[in-house]
Structure 1
Amino acid sequence: MTTSASSRTLPERAAALVDLLRRNAARTEEDRRVTEENIEALADAGLFLLTVPRRFGGRQASIRTLLEVSAELGRGCGSTAWFTALVNVCGWVVGLFPERAQREVYGEGPGARVCSVLTPGGTSRAAGGGQVVTGRWPFASGCLDAQWALLGTPVTGADGEQLDRGVALVPVAELTIEDTWHSVGMRGTGSHTLVAEEVFVPGHRILSLTGALRGEYPTEFTDEALYRSAFVPVLSSVLVGPQLGMARGGLELVTASLGKGRPLSHTFFAQAREASSTQIQLAEAAQLVDTAALHLMRAADDIDTWAASGTPMPLLDRARVRMDTATVARRSREALDILLSLHGAGSFAEANPLQRLWRDQETASRHAMTNPAVASELYGRALLGVEEQITALI
């Protein structure tokens, strides 16, 4: 890392890579994985270390910093921003494990990357103080460039009864990767399927998902505020940082194109920028982007503040974070929709980066954790004090 780069804040380092990511966005999509040039640049800037404990040479940054970084990267390439955000949130999850497990991941250096599919899947059986897991876990973003994987799995007893739901930390070398990610959007995330066949996972590498949802983590380093952050709010918020970035990237591209003096087709306007309709649409899109940013940063600050306090984040606040993240996804998508209408049919030319941003945004914003209808219902129940909820993921 150069001296000038090392003096920048982490979001500034991310912003400095936007042009590179834009140049490589088509290649990332075509290869269906983040290009090696992007990965090397991100690693050199220290942007895979945001949530790695300082004890291992990581940055141990705030959740707000993580979201600011991913939003900057999203301006250049949605897939690369998504990949980076998920590597970092997986690093955060590793920081919740006992020190023994953390050392197995980072003992040789902080650069180990982790992917995840936290949805419980597959089967398990108790054996030798751990679990033997078998199953298939689709949509493991970034698995082609990860050394470890976090897999949702049942935890069973000696008689085969399910005792808990867990997250198993497994070396990718012990898994098989099936090439299954063929999508119209976010193609560069390499979100393939991980397959385990009778893989033994020792007990210290299994995190209780039930406990994590209550904010109970087995890390011995309880003084590290980052690893006291509320589980689901962190996992949901990281999904929308890249989406805000894509909306910002679209706003920048359309604003720049209007500055080149192109006409407004089928009107008397020699320059589209002079038309009131153009000005109004651009302002509406910019306001939606700003709205998304305000909700995202409120969620980030809520997570960081409660973590710093050492007090578990109340359900109402956690529900509001789910609502905020859904709002970011929806408003970012709405902003891009206006921007593409403003730019016209040319937005969908294969050579135009707007169509890639649009496809990536349309895909990413449909993640189940950012479903606006679900978020609205669970937040409404929390506001009304209704005890029965629709999901444990709050």
Structure 2
Amino acid sequence: MPKGERKLPMANAVVRPEIAAIVEQLDELRPKLIESGGEGDENRRIPQDVFDAVAATGAFTISVPEKFGGLAANTREAHAVSRAIGRGDGSLAWVNGILDSGAWVTGLMDERAQEDVWGAAGGIDSLISIVLATTSDAVPVEGGYRVTGKWAYGTGSMHATWSLLGIPIKNGAGEVVDAGLALIPTSELSYDDNWYVAGMKSTASVTQIAEDVFVPHHRVFPLTAAVEGGYLGDNPEASYRTVFIPSLFMKLVGPHLGMGRAAIDFVSSMSERKAIAYTGYEKQADSAIFQSVIAKANVELNAAELVAQQIADEIYAAAVDDYYAPYAKRIEMRAKAGWIVDTIANMIKDLISAHGSGGFADMSPLQRIWRDQATAASHGHILAASGYEAYGKILLGREHDARFVLPIV
């Protein structure tokens, strides 16, 4: 066990009935999500009626603080919701994961910022997209900052009323002293519709643009302090005391779990009526090799689910025990998250190979699952390679080198 780390009693972050009810509604919507996935992919937009149907379940507001009518969801609950969406539409699940991240971070901010978003004017249905990259300039002025910049990729921004966007925080001399997130109404932003990609097409992850937008101090969230648990809000729920970066990257794991299950569901369902070309098998399901692929895929996905559950419970247990995990432990979580995503990517490759060339047809949901998951797997927050490298350095006593690979975790 790395120095400074301690073993925590495991607190089971159970999925509450209110969240389970949302998941049940999402399960009922799954046929609609599957059916509309092709349309969203082709039009590069989630159909509005589909988005509205999912929003009506409460799926986008689970991480809003309870005082505003939300459920202050824990990580396992966030997984349950995004997983359920991902079994129908991976792109929509990814949008959910990003908007859920925006809601959770807003719940850590100054109380005035929370009121701006969810108070009487906005209400619980105000959605917040988030981009951490500080691809911008922020000039200190009286009462706040004047912000100019461009941020890719703005997942969820086309549905959001607010965006959290990375900015450099400067002192009076104009020197950069920190990084932060600026909470800006999307009505004050423009966008470049440049999201032309192989996967996750319907997320409409456009580039957002700010031109000399004023952001008051109370809508700026300093990131260096946040990484070590220095939050500004005072919401009492345990979910607002969890480790910052792991809580964010774990919100992106749920969609992968859902897409993995969707791939197994599809390939299994087709196996009773699909032959194996150039063999005597009239049904894939009769083949021992095919059966082995399905068995292996289920074992791998079940293992990924268990690891995700373990990390979620560790995050929750620490918050309940008022313990903030040190860097080494956070890196371990990061490596495990990468393993989950990597495992599901390899599992889907095996499944699409076993299913056959028909899985690559435009009309097949399987090729969309494959493209969406592979695209999402490249996200820097859950990229397996960097997580493995940093964790290996930790295990070999080279934390300083690990901080070079992943300085902010």
Question: For the superposition of Structure 1 and Structure 2, which TM-score range results when normalised by the shorter chain?
Answer: over 0.9
- Hey, what does 2:48 align to over in structure 1? 36
Separation of aligned partners in 2, 1:7 and 1:304: 16
Deviation at 1:7, TM superposition (A): 9.4
Deviation at 1:315, TM superposition (A): 2.3
Is 1:193 matched up with 2:207? yes
Among residues 329, 336, 345, which one is paired with 2:341 in the alignment?
329
Separation of aligned partners in 1, 2:67 and 2:88: 32
Is 1:145 matched up with 2:168? no
Task: Give the 5 Å matches for 1:345-364.
Answer: 345-364=357-376
Among residues 151, 170, 178, which one is paired with 2:192 in the alignment?
178
Among residues 229, 243, 253, which one is paired with 1:240 in the alignment?
253
Is 1:62 matched up with 2:74? yes
Separation of aligned partners in 2, 1:7 and 1:386: 41
Separation of aligned partners in 1, 2:18 and 2:219: 34
- Hey, what does 2:262 align to over in structure 1? 249
Matched AA of 1:113: L
Among residues 120, 137, 160, which one is paired with 1:123 in the alignment?
137
Among residues 311, 324, 335, which one is paired with 1:312 in the alignment?
324
Pair 1:309–1:140, CA change in 2 (3 A): same
Q: CA RMSD in A?
A: 1.5
Separation of aligned partners in 1, 2:157 and 2:325: 31
Separation of aligned partners in 1, 2:85 and 2:249: 18
- Hey, what does 1:267 align to over in structure 2? 279
After TM superposition, the runs of 4+ consecutive aligned structure 1 residues lying more than 6 A away are none
**Contact between 2:101 and 2:130, CA under 8 Å: does it hold in 1?**
no
**Contact between 2:284 and 2:290, CA under 8 Å: does it hold in 1?**
yes
Deviation at 1:314, TM superposition (A): 2.5
Separation of aligned partners in 1, 2:315 and 2:386: 20
Equivalent pairs, count: 388
Separation of aligned partners in 1, 2:49 and 2:299: 34
**Contact between 1:213 and 1:392, CA under 8 Å: does it hold in 2?**
no
Matched AA of 1:186: M
Separation of aligned partners in 2, 1:149 and 1:28: 23
Separation of aligned partners in 2, 1:88 and 1:373: 25
Is 1:162 matched up with 2:176? yes
Q: Secondary structure of 1:134's match?
A: strand
**Identity %, equivalent residues:** 35
Separation of aligned partners in 2, 1:254 and 1:295: 24
Is 1:292 matched up with 2:304? yes
**Contact between 1:150 and 1:168, CA under 8 Å: does it hold in 2?**
yes
Q: Secondary structure of 1:149's match?
A: strand
Matched AA of 2:27: A
**TM norm structure 1:** 0.95
Deviation at 1:10, TM superposition (A): 3.0
Separation of aligned partners in 2, 1:89 and 1:6: 19
Deviation at 1:53, TM superposition (A): 0.5
Q: Secondary structure of 2:408's match?
A: coil
**Contact between 2:19 and 2:77, CA under 8 Å: does it hold in 1?**
no
Q: Secondary structure of 2:158's match?
A: helix
Separation of aligned partners in 1, 2:233 and 2:92: 30
Separation of aligned partners in 1, 2:176 and 2:22: 43
Separation of aligned partners in 1, 2:171 and 2:360: 54
- Hey, what does 2:222 align to over in structure 1? 208
- Hey, what does 1:366 align to over in structure 2? 378
Deviation at 1:17, TM superposition (A): 2.1
**Contact between 2:150 and 2:208, CA under 8 Å: does it hold in 1?**
yes
Separation of aligned partners in 2, 1:387 and 1:362: 30
Matched AA of 1:61: A
Separation of aligned partners in 1, 2:390 and 2:29: 38
- Hey, what does 1:229 align to over in structure 2? 242
